[in-house]
Amino acid sequence: MNPDDLPPVLPAEVPPEAHSGFMARFRNYFLTGLIVAGPIAITFYLTWWFVTWVDGIVRPLIPLAYRPETYLPFGLPGAGLIVAVFALTLLGFLAANLIGRTLVDLGERLLGRMPVVRAIYRGLKQVFETLFSGQGSSFRRVGLVEFPSPGMWSIVLISQSPSVEIANKLPGQDEHISVFLPCAPNPTTGFFFYVPKSKIIEVQMSAEDAATLIMSCGVVQPGSDGQKKIAALAEMANAARVANTAAPRPEPAKVD
């Protein structure tokens, strides 16, 4: 038989299951890498933004002779942040002494004589004392409130009880409490209102978990383990690879 008369040998066709298995593995590996690298990249970006922001504020206040870039061929990120930390620590040390307390009282009396500045300063001082003093329970408890309509529940951060003047003006005999309802996906904005204590369902959830739940619009639920999700995606990719390897491959056409 003349070899030229034989039909040409065609390459074996790749079954569609192989393409689908490859795409499934590619998708799972890509999502796994995104889950691992995404939070790290965003965390580094936000940290870098904060450091450069503080440096931009503090560096102009440092004399040129004391700046690291004066003696180094490159700038040193974070130098302004270090100076700011030491300056605030020194300020707190001085304010704790008798002379420091006297100067602080003198400054507060001076600000108290300014009509508009007085209200701003007192409000901000109370907020900072509540948040950073480590005392009190403001925004450390999480609850559910029926809002914006019956049958719909929203997450709120429980704050303090109202003052006597406000409590006397609130209708009804129930004890009220102030709450903050964050908006999704930006929890720094929201609604502040007073609600009866009997209308709040307190839940065992930290304020950090509540903020995560709100920012993710319910995608990330409290108690969800990110490592388990990554392991599940990797397991799915490995299963697809094993299934693709174990799939029987068609034998090449035989030539008579």
pLDDT band at 8 (very low <50, low <70, confident <90, very high): low
- Tell me if 150 is assigned to some domain: yes
pLDDT in the model for residue 203: 87
Query: Please, are residues 80 and 54 in contact by the beta-carbon 8 Å criterion?
Result: yes
Question: For a pLDDT cut of 70, what percent of the chain falls above it?
Answer: 74
Q: Note if the pTM is more than 0.85.
A: no
Q: What is the pLDDT of residues 10-24, one digit of tens each?
A: 455 555 555 567 788
Q: What is the pLDDT of residues 210-249, one digit of tens each?
A: 888 888 887 777 765 555 555 655 566 566 666 666 655 5
Q: What is the pLDDT of residues 142-186, one digit of tens each?
A: 889 888 888 888 888 888 888 888 888 888 888 888 898 888 877
51-81 exposure pattern, b = at least 16 Cβ within 10 A, e = fewer: beebbeebbeeeeeeebeeeeeeeeeeebbb
Out of 20-24, 81-85, 106-110, least confident range: 20-24
Contacts of 202 (CB under 8 A, 6+ apart): 141, 142, 143, 144, 158
State mean pLDDT over 135-139.
Answer: 58
- Tell me if 7 is assigned to some domain: no
Mean pLDDT (the chain, rounded) = 76
Which tokens sit at 236? 């799915």
Say how many domains are in the chain: 1
- Tell me if 18 is assigned to some domain: no
Query: Alpha-carbon dihedral of residues 134, 136, 142, 146, nearest 10 degrees?
Result: -150
**Domain span at residue 222?**
137-245
Is the Cα dihedral 152, 158, 161, 162 positive or negative?
Answer: negative
- Tell me if 234 is assigned to some domain: yes
State mean pLDDT over 36-46.
Answer: 85
pLDDT in the model for residue 244: 60
Of 200, 224, 227, 228, which is closest to residue 212 (Cα–Cα)? 224
Residue 99 has pLDDT above 70, yes or no: yes
Which span out of 44-58, 63-77, 94-108 was modeled with the highest average pLDDT? 44-58
Question: For a pLDDT cut of 90, what percent of the chain falls above it?
Answer: 0
- Tell me if 239 is assigned to some domain: yes
- Tell me if 209 is assigned to some domain: yes
- Tell me if 220 is assigned to some domain: yes
- Tell me if 189 is assigned to some domain: yes
